[in-house]
Amino acid sequence: MEIMCDKCDFVINKDKYEDGFRIEEYKNVYGTLCPNCGHIIKPISKPKFVQNYEINKMKLQFDFLEILRKKLRRN
């Protein structure tokens, strides 16, 4: 994956190659520091642990709301 700096237009390629074949593709998950100007390049998507946190948070909120609705209906 080629990453382009927003500030200085420097292209960074951190993929690993062996014998001309790409072994591993670099993914900008947490952000990258430009070696040319020191500018922080923001990630394209959120990290996996943040996505899992948000999903679990929504599940807990839904479960709590269901319990609250059941309690309020009884009164």
* Predicted confidence (pLDDT) per residue in 19-74, tens digit: 878 777 777 888 888 888 988 888 877 778 888 999 999 999 999 999 999 998 87
Q: For position 68, what pLDDT does the model report?
A: 93
Q: For position 10, what pLDDT does the model report?
A: 87
Q: Where in the chain are the domains?
A: 1-44, 47-75
Residues whose CB falls within 8 Å of the CB of residue 8, separated by 6 or more in sequence, listed in order: 34, 36, 37, 39
Q: For position 74, what pLDDT does the model report?
A: 79
What CA–CA distance (Å, rounded) separates 10 from 13?
A: 10
Q: For position 75, what pLDDT does the model report?
A: 63
